[in-house]
Structure 1
Amino acid sequence: MELCVALDLPSRKENLRLAEKLADYDIWLKVGFRTFIRDGRAFLDELKAISPRFRLFLDLKLYDIPNTMADAAEEIAQMGVDMFNLHASAGKKGMRTVMERLESYEKRPLVLAVTALTSFSYHDFKEIYGADIDEKAAWFALQAYQAGCDGVVCSVYESRAIKHETDRNFLTLTPGVRPFGESSDDQQRVADLAAAKREGVDIIVVGRPVYRADDPAGVVKRILESL
């Protein structure tokens, strides 16, 4: 299991300061919507300059027609990030088009498909998609697997079933993990580190428990020791 720290602080300066505190660790750093829109590609280069040990996950959740997603995927690949994501609900054709477009890259980023946002409650998800989360998340994951994606973004609670439906090497990345039982905040389907281990998760994303801590590096060290 690997650790990904979410850089979700209000300013570029705060995020860079956090990254500097974590420079001694082999971890993923997640750059999301707000951060990327505000700070752009230059911010990615700044993170790489802090430590070659960092791997970058660009969390933009692409969702558009197939060709537009593939165009965007090419631009992302040229930024040198290590992983990005798109929405599985954009469809198998869209996911396959992205993967085919990236075939020519000698070192392409990993591509993950988002199954169901962890902010959804079971009721909210069924209201929108007309199906239970467990059933639909596994179906989305199978579509992503068949389209050639490297894995999915899901909650801890779907990881085991998704690997059963696809392959044990098909990656599961789980946001909203509260390693030691911290507050769930705006997430609905959260879990702790023990549950993530039990369900076979490959990459856990931790945000607030790290960047709100008085000693972020200490929290990261504790998580990595627990892994």
Structure 2
Amino acid sequence: MKPSSGIPLPINTPRCPPTFRPYVYTDSDIARLINAVDGLHSTLIEPRTLRTLVLLLYGTGLRLSEALHLCFADVDLEQSLLTIRDTKFYKTRWVPTGTHLTQILHDYIKTVHTSPGTALDAPLLVRRDGGQLSASGVRRAFARLRSKANVRRTDGAPYQPRLHDMRATFAVHRLTTWYQQGADVQRLLPMLSTYLGHASIAATQVYLPMTPELLIEASIRFERYAMLEK
């Protein structure tokens, strides 16, 4: 066999895809989304359901699939506690909710689920016809809401903010608050990982892009540490 006279490599080197960077919603973004909900017309999902879903994801950092699979038996309003069953890693965990979010869930249940004796396995978040929401349908409704609220990326990325980015937003805001409070972030990071339902801290770090606020707080913490070491 005659040896090859060249290296069989492609003429054009394929371009590496850009690194995906989650979008971190600002308080202003969330306010615009909530204010735009009532003006959104959808045959699938009622405005109050979409509003509750957005605030639930923003306030807990749940995966979209986890939120959509919540049923009545998973919601304990008295204890302000959600039970997240059979998650991505086939585990069950408890997720506490704050006072404001608990009230939002209470009001939603009271106004949407008006039939007495609702089955414990009935879905919490429902379509207009009472059926369970689908992830694809919710994503389409949110895309229209995001466009109506004029919430968009300005960093040149080709993709626009997603519902799943609420998860990254929750993680970044929690970390920023810990820095501002002077907490031991390294000790608390495993707790955040457990809260989010991650198998490792490395998985949690994916949701922690450096926002300007987070960078400032981290820099302040490092400067204090450096001064103590002198």
The answer, yes or no, to whether TM exceeds 0.5 is no
The structure with more radius of gyration: 2
Q: Flag the structure with more relative contact order, 1 or 2, with Cα contacts below 8 A and sequence separation at least 6.
A: 2
Higher strand share: 1
